[in-house]
Amino acid sequence: MFGSSPQGLDDEDVTNELVDWFNNVDATYRADLRELNELNFARFDAKLEQRLAALGIVGTAVGVVALLLRR
């Protein structure tokens, strides 16, 4: 595929390096996305709790709704 590499790496070594690099990039993006999703959910949950409290619905209803939304 690449022919002879100047460092003496064969095609399999180069392929494995590329796969490892892509896996590391993927893991980083997944972690970043997970963190963003958690932050957005926390913001949503806080706003929902505020709005329910403004409507006079507090306590158990907020807990039930929060549990349902976390699934």
Give the model's pLDDT for residue 19.
96
Q: How confident is the model at residue 5 (pLDDT cuts 50, 70, 90)?
A: low
**pLDDT tens figures, 29-42:** 999 999 999 999 99
pTM (predicted TM-score): 0.56
Q: Is the pLDDT reported for residue 1 higher than 50?
A: no
Q: What pLDDT is recorded for position 55? A: 77
Residue-by-residue DSSP string for 8-65: S--HHHHHHHHHHHHHHHHHHHHHHHHHHHHHHHHHHHHHHHHHHHHTT--THHHHHH
In the predicted model, what is the mean pLDDT of residues 7-15? Answer: 84
